[in-house]
Amino acid sequence: MLKPITKRFSDKSTMEQFEFVFYCDCCGRPTPTTIYKHENRFEKKMFLSNSEKEARAIIYADEHHKAYERANNEARLEFYNCKICGLLICDNCCYYLEGGDIACKTCTEKEKFENKIQEEN
């Protein structure tokens, strides 16, 4: 399975649909991805044999894996990479540096603080 692009994500999948939420590494703002419906609809039955249960579990796991990969790739488009620390950040935490690079709130504030100290010395 692919490693999630952000440090934290949640899987809100059910038996009817696959749903994933990725969180900004800086502020924790949630960014939900597209909800994916199951490709295979199972016929509702009162009793399932062990082989039917196993088959359904394998199919579900395969579909879940594919939906997670699509969601992970979709989330890549929603976050920016901080040039200084490498965190994946949302629009709210994004600051543009000289030269067009992007930095997170934390690194920008730290850089301003360090520049202020250097100016005082």
Least confident of 31-45, 60-74, 105-119: 105-119
Domain ranges of the chain: 8-120
For 70-116, the pLDDT digits (tens) are: 999 999 999 999 998 999 999 998 888 888 889 998 888 877 656 65
Cα 58 to Cα 45, 55, 67, 85, 97: the distances in Å are 18, 5, 14, 39, 48
Q: Tell me the whole-structure pTM to 2 decimals.
A: 0.79
H or E stretch including 20? Answer: strand 20-23
Rounded alpha-carbon distances, angstroms, from residue 107 to 15, 25, 98: 41, 13, 14
Q: In this predicted model, which residue has the larger pLDDT, 103 or 15?
A: 103
